[in-house]
């Protein structure tokens, strides 16, 4: 696949006489792809059963004439007014029982059979019309799935789904411990929808019910997506691929499950906080690459600014280009801007775009055009390449849901906890795969996991990994729960106790940080070993009990009496493989976490992509190409060898990187 640069184009927002200026400017900017059609239902089917695809045919032909490939987004995130008026049962119902109002988007009920029939029909019409169009390279189903509906359709479907899953109410009652608070069900129709939180009635719903509801939402979206995939696959040539634009770490459903039916995953990355943060933003790329363990499309990103942040500041000059290259560095096959040109009215008037309402380029157009030239110039370096990582950070939606339902400490944000492991790796320019806790782990040197929900399949793979010589870091709250979100009848980390060589005697939510003294001597090459600095635990601390053959790497200082002097971090080495399991029993402060991860990385023999770069310079490798990206300060970088920069054409060992500068280097 070539490296694509693209934009979301909404020809239906403008008279046809204006389309010519759009596509000409797209071509001049070096765009190679446009996405069309998502949200255009009222233009494609203005009245029930009356289709009007002619304008889209003409728009696609015009784009093709200017050398642009086309991705069609199915319009199903925006059901038209004729439909919601005639069939209000297609509307999503909120937790209070009120149906959505027409006039926004994503207002559909994903469990409505009627809605699915409408979606299937419009997707089929599009596939029949464009499924063999050589200029259409792929399809995006819907747009950013997100709405949850508490309708009667949803209730019935959920109850049926539970019946299929558990087979009998006895099984469900036992797994959910429903005798607790007299929840015992004697009829499937008694099972409620877990109306989030308290809603005036004081207490949340059963954690098993809540977890199953999220899994059900996942299955509902999977069905919704498959409903369209089936008709597209049946009518389109096999070379047209199918994707969906996910939203990074959004946790409304299990993205691993939905990705299974796609050719590849895509995502929409925005920078509402203003600037590119290598650790935070790269984690989203690595996550999306992990959905299918495959490169992805960055199918939407901002051309400068968004319109929905508290302050919609623009990225710095050069930063939009840097962000595009960072996506490529982490496995993007395409970078597409949202959007090409604003509609004159509608909810997103202020959003960044390449073209202003007068049809002329905005200032960002020149920067994006530069990226377009560079993609053409250097894109071939990335053909058939991806990121090669020897570290995996494991991630699970079920764990995040379960932890969020019962944080036990208001600040225990499972996503922030995961990022606390990712950040020290990113800071060291170590390539990371973010993978499902259910992934096979062959080939990794270091795996970082905190599998809160643990079953035998997950445990066995982690055990196999350590027995095979791998280094495993186990975070807090590992091994607490079963797949029904019930407590496991063992101490943490339950099925992993033997491999960890330790167990958790007790856990504590911390109001105040607790001192931690490490016994670890630094292992940086070329430096004299010295004790890693002391630090603190915050938010969460576990009292670890090591086995005799397990080393204690750090202990708690004086705190609540219970934790005083107890083991906080342990290390157990498996013989004969040398595989090692570290239990990190506390959420460590940033500095201690950073030095601990640095130490473990060296123990595991993990190397950075390039050593010795200034802290502000981020580097990733794809194939033979090293992509170096600077942040806001100018920096001089010396590479270990002479290299050619494929963007500037310069060959040297030393490169001067201006703020947000990019070098794409291969060794000469
Ligand atoms: C995305 C959405 C786009 C557009 C964009 C604005 O979430 O998919 O349609 O609204 O946000 O930033």
Determine which one of 300, 319, 333, 398 is catalytic: 300
Decide if pLDDT at 91 tops 70: yes
Give the CATH number of the domain where residue 295 resides: 3.20.20.80
Which ligand 1 atom sits nearest the alpha carbon of residue 39? 9
- In angstroms, the CA 485 to CA 480 distance is 9
pLDDT value of residue 199 = 54
pLDDT value of residue 146 = 97
CA of 647 to the centre of ligand 1 (A): 30
User: Same domain, yes or no, for 565 and 469?
Assistant: yes
- In angstroms, the CA 627 to CA 645 distance is 9
The answer as to whether 612 is a domain residue is no
pLDDT band at 532 (very low <50, low <70, confident <90, very high): confident
User: Same domain, yes or no, for 233 and 184?
Assistant: no
What's phi and psi for 563, nearest 5 deg? Answer: -85, -15
CA of 31 to the centre of ligand 1 (A): 19
What is the residue range of 637's domain? Answer: 618-667
Out of 300, 308, 320, 352, mutate this one to test ligand 1's pocket (max ligand atoms within 8 Å of CB): namely 300
User: Same domain, yes or no, for 102 and 205?
Assistant: no
pLDDT value of residue 529 = 74
Q: What percent of the chain has pLDDT over 70?
A: 99
pLDDT tens column, 269-301 = 999 888 999 888 999 999 999 999 999 999 999
CA of 605 to the centre of ligand 1 (A): 42
CA of 338 to the centre of ligand 1 (A): 7
Please tell me the chain's helix, strand, coil percentages from 3-state DSSP, rounded to the nearest 5: 35, 25, 45
What's phi and psi for 191, nearest 5 deg? Answer: -75, 120
Please give the average per-residue pLDDT across 526-535, as a whole number. 80
CA of 120 to the centre of ligand 1 (A): 23
- In angstroms, the CA 601 to CA 232 distance is 46
User: Same domain, yes or no, for 561 and 459?
Assistant: yes
Angle between helices 207-235 and 397-405 (to 10 degrees): 150
Poorest-confidence range of 97-101, 195-199, 538-542, 546-550?
195-199
CA of 274 to the centre of ligand 1 (A): 16
pLDDT value of residue 203 = 81
Give the CATH number of the domain where residue 534 resides: 3.40.50.880
pLDDT value of residue 535 = 96
pLDDT value of residue 520 = 87
Q: 265 in helix, strand or coil?
A: coil
From 344, 361, 382, the end of a domain falls on 382
Q: Tell me, what DSSP letter sits at residue 488?
A: P
User: Same domain, yes or no, for 205 and 310?
Assistant: no
Please give the average per-residue pLDDT across 65-77, as a whole number. 98
User: Same domain, yes or no, for 302 and 377?
Assistant: yes
Q: How does DSSP assign 209-263, residue by residue?
A: HHHHHHHHHHHHHHHHHHHHHHHHHHHS-TTSEEE-EE-TT--SS-HHHHHTTSS
pLDDT tens column, 331-384 = 999 999 999 999 999 999 999 999 999 999 999 999 999 999 999 999 999 999
- In angstroms, the CA 3 to CA 30 distance is 11
| Whether residue 300 lies in the annotated active site | yes
Task: Return the exposure string of 217-241: e unless at least 16 CB atoms fall within 10 Å of the residue's CB, then b.
Answer: bbbbbbebbebbbebbbebbeeebb
Which ligand 1 atom sits nearest the alpha carbon of residue 247? 7
User: Same domain, yes or no, for 241 and 122?
Assistant: yes
From 160, 193, 211, the end of a domain falls on 211
CA of 348 to the centre of ligand 1 (A): 9
Out of 37, 298, 346, 348, mutate this one to test ligand 1's pocket (max ligand atoms within 8 Å of CB): namely 348
The H-or-E segment that residue 123 falls in is: helix 113-130
| Whether residue 152 lies in the annotated active site | no
**Protein residue with least CA distance to atom 3, ligand 1:** 338
pLDDT value of residue 197 = 57
pLDDT band at 204 (very low <50, low <70, confident <90, very high): confident
User: Same domain, yes or no, for 566 and 651?
Assistant: no
What's phi and psi for 378, nearest 5 deg? Answer: -110, -5
Decide if pLDDT at 401 tops 70: yes
Number of domains in the chain: 4
List residues near ligand 1 (CB under 6 A).
Answer: 143-144, 268, 270, 300, 306, 338, 348, 351
Q: Under a CB-based contact definition with an 8 Å cutoff, are residues 97 and 62 in contact?
A: no
Which region, left, alpha or beta, applies to residue 598 given φ > 0 means left and ψ of -120 to 50 means alpha? Answer: alpha
pLDDT band at 632 (very low <50, low <70, confident <90, very high): confident
Please give the average per-residue pLDDT across 424-453, as a whole number. 98
From 582, 604, 626, the end of a domain falls on 604
Please give the average per-residue pLDDT across 178-199, as a whole number. 88
Please give the average per-residue pLDDT across 468-474, as a whole number. 98
The answer as to whether 609 is a domain residue is no
More confident residue, 95 or 246: 246
The answer as to whether 610 is a domain residue is no
**Protein residue with least CA distance to atom 5, ligand 1:** 338
User: Same domain, yes or no, for 456 and 491?
Assistant: yes
User: Same domain, yes or no, for 377 and 444?
Assistant: no
pLDDT value of residue 526 = 72
Out of 338, 339, 353, mutate this one to test ligand 1's pocket (max ligand atoms within 8 Å of CB): namely 338
User: Same domain, yes or no, for 431 and 515?
Assistant: yes
The answer as to whether 650 is a domain residue is yes
pLDDT tens column, 558-600 = 999 999 999 999 999 999 999 999 999 999 999 999 999 999 9
- In angstroms, the CA 169 to CA 186 distance is 7
Which ligand 1 atom sits nearest the alpha carbon of residue 38? 9
Give the CATH number of the domain where residue 628 resides: 2.60.40.1180
The answer as to whether 613 is a domain residue is no
Q: What is the mean pLDDT of the chain?
A: 96
Which ligand 1 atom sits nearest the alpha carbon of residue 307? 12
Q: If DSSP states are collapsed to H, E and C, what string results for 379-416?
A: HHHHCCCCECCCEEEEECHHHHHHHHHCCCCCCCCHHH
pLDDT band at 200 (very low <50, low <70, confident <90, very high): low
pLDDT tens column, 120-135 = 999 999 999 999 999 9
Taking each continuous run of H as one helix and of E as one strand, the counts in the chain are 17, 25
The answer as to whether 354 is a domain residue is yes
Decide if pLDDT at 53 tops 90: yes
CA of 82 to the centre of ligand 1 (A): 24
Decide if pLDDT at 500 tops 90: yes
- In angstroms, the CA 360 to CA 358 distance is 6
Alpha helices in 346-479 (DSSP H): 364-378, 397-405, 414-427, 456-467
Determine which one of 12, 45, 144, 219 is catalytic: 144
User: Same domain, yes or no, for 623 and 572?
Assistant: no
Tokens representing 60? 């696609």
Neighbours of 511 (CB within 10 A): 9
Please give the average per-residue pLDDT across 229-254, as a whole number. 98
């Amino acid at each position: 696949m070539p490296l694509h640069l693209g934009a979301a184009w909404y020809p239906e927002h403008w008279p046809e006489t204006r389309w010519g200026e759009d596509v000409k400017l797209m071509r001049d900017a070096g765009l190679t792809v446009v996405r069309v059609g998502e949200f255009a239902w009222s233009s494609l089917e203005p009245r029930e059963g009356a289709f009007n695809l002619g304008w889209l045919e003409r728009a696609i032909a015009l784009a093709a004439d200017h050398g642009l490939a086309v991705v069609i987004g199915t319009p199903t995130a925006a059901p038209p007014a004729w439909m919601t008026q005639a069939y209000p049962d297609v509307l999503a119902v909120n937790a209070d029982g009120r149906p959505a109002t027409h006039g926004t988007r994503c207002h559909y009920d994903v469990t409505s059979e009627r809605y699915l029939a409408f979606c299937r029909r419009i997707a089929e019409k599009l596939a029949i019309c464009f499924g063999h169009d050589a200029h259409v390279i792929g399809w995006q189903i819907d747009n950013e799935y997100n709405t949850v509906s508490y309708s009667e359709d949803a209730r019935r479907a959920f109850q049926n789904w539970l019946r299929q899953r558990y087979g009998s109410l006895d099984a469900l009652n036992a797994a959910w411990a429903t005798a607790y608070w007299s929840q015992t069900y004697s009829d499937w129709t008694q099972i409620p929808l877990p109306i989030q939180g308290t809603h005036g009635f004081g207490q949340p719903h059963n954690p098993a019910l809540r977890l199953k509801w999220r899994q059900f939402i996942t299955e509902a979206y999977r069905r919704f997506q498959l409903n369209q995939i089936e008709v597209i696959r049946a009518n389109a040539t096999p070379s047209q691929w199918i994707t969906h634009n996910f939203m990074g770490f959004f946790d409304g459903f299990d993205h691993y499950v939905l990705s299974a039916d796609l050719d590849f995953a895509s995502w929409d990355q925005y920078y509402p906080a203003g600037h590119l943060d290598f650790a935070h933003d790269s984690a989203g790329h690595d996550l999306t690459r992990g959905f299918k363990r495959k490169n992805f499309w960055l199918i939407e990103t901002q051309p400068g600014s968004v319109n929905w942040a508290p302050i919609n500041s623009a990225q710095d000059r050069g930063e939009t280009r840097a962000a595009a290259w960072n996506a490529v560095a982490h496995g993007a096959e395409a970078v597409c801007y949202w959007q090409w040109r604003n509609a004159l009215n509608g909810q997103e008037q202020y959003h960044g775009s390449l073209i202003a309402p007068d049809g002329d380029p905005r200032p960002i157009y020149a920067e994006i055009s530069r990226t377009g030239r560079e993609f053409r110039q250097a894109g071939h370096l990335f053909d058939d390449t991806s990121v090669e990582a020897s570290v995996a950070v494991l991630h699970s939606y079920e764990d995040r849901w379960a932890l969020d339902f019962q944080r036990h400490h208001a600040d225990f944000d499972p996503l922030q906890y995961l990022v606390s492991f990712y950040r020290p790796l990113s800071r060291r320019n170590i390539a990371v795969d973010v993978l499902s806790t259910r992934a096979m782990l062959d080939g990794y040197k270091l795996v970082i996991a905190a599998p809160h929900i643990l079953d035998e399949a997950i445990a066995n793979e982690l055990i196999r990994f350590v027995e095979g010589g791998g280094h495993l870091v186990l975070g807090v709250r590992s091994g607490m729960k079963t797949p029904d979100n019930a407590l496991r009848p063992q101490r943490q980390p339950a099925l992993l106790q033997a491999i960890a060589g330790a167990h958790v005697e007790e856990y504590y939510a911390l109001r105040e940080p607790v001192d931690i003294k490490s016994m670890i001597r630094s292992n940086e090459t070329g430096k004299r070993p010295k004790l890693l600095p002391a630090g603190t635990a915050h938010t969460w601390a576990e009292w670890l009990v090591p086995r005799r053959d397990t080393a204690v790497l750090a202990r708690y200082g004086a705190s609540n009496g219970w934790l005083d002097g107890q083991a906080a971090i342990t290390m157990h080495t498996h013989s004969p493989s040398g595989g090692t399991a570290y239990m990190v029993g506390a959420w460590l402060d940033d500095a201690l976490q950073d030095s601990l991860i640095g130490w473990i990385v060296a123990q595991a023999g993990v190397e950075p992509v390039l050593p010795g770069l200034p802290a502000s310079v981020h580097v990733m490798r794809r194939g033979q190409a090293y992509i170096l990206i600077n942040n806001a300060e100018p920096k001089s970088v010396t590479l270990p060898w002479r290299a050619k920069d494929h963007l500037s054409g310069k060959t040297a060992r030393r490169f001067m990187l201006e703020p947000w500068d990019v070098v794409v280097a291969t060794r000469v």
